[in-house]
Amino acid sequence: MITGIGLDIVELSRIQRLDVKSAKFRERVLTQSEHAEYIQLTAARKVEFLAGRFAAKEAFSKAKGTGIGGACSFQDIEIRKDSKGKPSVYFQNKETGLVSITHSKEFAAAQVLLQTN
């Protein structure tokens, strides 16, 4: 049974401005594991990665119905890829949802689907 659907879209230019201005935004959004992946990327790919993770985490919080805040922080949510690169959403270290992340020249978007067995 589907328990939640979330969608988010973000401008790459906005994320790039925030990231260049201060590392605080990146540190707030990315978990340690995600940050380790981020630092391995090219400059252009870093913006896409950060924007995609931001959009995915916002989409997850919408699907969950909490928004980002006390009950659900960016650090509670992690996007992990399997060996083929397929992403999944983990909330408080437990796999909880399906996610699709996409990028264009100007935007990153993500959709999250939460379901119970």
Q: From the candidates 46, 57, 62, 64, which is the catalytic residue?
A: 62
Count Cβ neighbours within 10 Å for each residue of 30-58 and write b for 16 or more, e otherwise.
bbeebeebbeeeeeeebbbbbbbbbbbbb
64-101 pLDDT, tens digit each: 999 999 899 999 999 999 999 999 999 999 998 899 99
Mean pLDDT of the residues in the chain: 95
Three-state DSSP state, 18: helix
- pTM score: 0.95
| Domain spans of the chain, in order of start | 2-115
Q: From the candidates 24, 35, 86, 103, which is the catalytic residue?
A: 103
CATH code at 2-115: 3.90.470.20
103 is catalytic: yes
For 11, what's the count of Cα atoms within 13 Å in the CB-facing half-sphere?
4
Quote the pLDDT of residue 116: 80
Q: What is the DSSP letter of 75?
A: G
Query: Could you give the CA distance from residue 9 to residue 116 in angstroms, rounded to a whole number?
Result: 25
62 is catalytic: yes
